[in-house]
Amino acid sequence: MKYERKLSHTTYDHKYHLCWITKYRFKVLTGNVAYRARDIIKQICREIGVEIIQGNVQPEHIHLVVSVPPYQSISKLMQHLKGKSARKLLQEHEILRKRYYGGSLWARGYYSVTSGNITDEMIIEYVKNQDREKEQDDNFIVSHDV
């Protein structure tokens, strides 16, 4: 699925699949907590220019497919998503404060994978066949000057 976005001097198509879990995999993202988590995540993404293509809140984890601008790093995005959402959810829901008395709603780490229209093999073949006259050293090619 091609999903190009534009900035003033850039056209990009950076899609990521992100996933993170609740601490101890407790199934606390249900009912009003799940809806509030969704709303908080949507608000955070809107504020930093990230577009949500698809999202899913499960009882113990969250999946997102997002389009991320080139100036935004995934580690900073996840820091914002997990940090701000945990703080707001813990402030607003007493049941979460009792369960996560230490203040950590999310488990450490997250899953991140890029998504695109072409495969790794297609990219490697494209890079390999840029020029007919090549000087090859393993898998890193230097093209001759014309």
What are the pLDDT digits (tens) for 30-54?
Answer: 999 999 999 999 999 999 999 988 8
Q: Where are the domains positioned within the chain? A: 5-115, 118-146
* Position 123 confidence tier, pLDDT thresholds 50, 70, 90: low
pTM score: 0.80
126 as an active site residue: the answer is yes
In CATH terms, the superfamily for domain 5-115 is: Transposase IS200-like (3.30.70.1290)
Identified catalytic residue from 24, 35, 71, 126? 126
Print burial letters for 69-78: b (CB count within 10 Å at least 16), e (below 16).
eeeeeeeebb
Residue 117 has pLDDT above 90, yes or no: no
| Contact of 130 with 142, CB cutoff 8 Å | no
